[in-house]
């Protein structure tokens, strides 16, 4: 187990950019991926807009906003996740899409890197079966809107290890979230 310093977020839509936002605000480096540059740019724009709202309301300084934004890198190249210490996806709720993605992440990410899904309805065990690391696959279901809602459901698959669960509970706390273990 190595310390999580950089997380990869697959999906720059509402959930993905929200996850990237709270991770960067917690001091983590973030690589945010989507399929097209336009989607990545829209996600980065949403993060900037939401952070600016915090500045306008006096909840953060302009310097903090700029520092948070500087921690987020956008990309359309999933291979950038080779440098990440943790990966979470927030893509369409489709088992085939998710299993294909997890197979790719399993090949790209270093051994030991946790692969998390933001799914609320698809079996973690089924998603984990696309990888060679089912003990390091877990559900991390954020509530929408991510920057506002404090709750995160942490969902184990049949093969998810206790160590993986502890690390994800700790990461959620670092991100300012209240984690609840679910089955």
Residues annotated as catalytic are: 141
First to last CA, the chain: 24
What are the C-alpha distances in Å from 30 to residues 9, 45, 80, 162, 182?
Answer: 7, 15, 11, 25, 26
Rounded Cα distance between 5 and 71, Å, is 11
Rounded Cα distance between 141 and 152, Å, is 5
What are the C-alpha distances in Å from 112 to residues 4, 31, 68, 100?
Answer: 11, 18, 27, 19
């Amino acid at each position: 187990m190595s310390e999580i310093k950089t997380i990869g977020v697959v999906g720059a839509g509402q959930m993905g950019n929200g996850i990237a936002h709270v991770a960067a605000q917690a001091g983590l480096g973030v690589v945010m991926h989507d399929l097209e540059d336009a989607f990545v740019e829209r996600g980065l724009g949403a993060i900037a807009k939401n952070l600016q709202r915090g500045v306008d309301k006096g909840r953060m300084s302009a310097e903090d906003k700029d520092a948070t934004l500087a921690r987020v890198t956008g990309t359309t190249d999933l291979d950038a996740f080779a440098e990440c210490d943790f990966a979470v996806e927030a893509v369409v709720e489709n088992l085939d899409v998710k299993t294909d993605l997890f197979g790719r992440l399993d090949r790209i990410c270093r051994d030991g890197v946790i692969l998390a899904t933001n799914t609320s309805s698809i079996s973690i065990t089924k998603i984990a079966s696309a990888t060679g690391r089912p003990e390091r696959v877990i559900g991390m279901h954020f509530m929408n809107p991510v920057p506002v809602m404090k709750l995160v459901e942490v969902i184990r698959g049949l093969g998810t290890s206790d160590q993986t669960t502890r690390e994800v509970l700790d990461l959620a706390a670092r991100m300012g979230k209240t984690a609840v273990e679910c089955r």
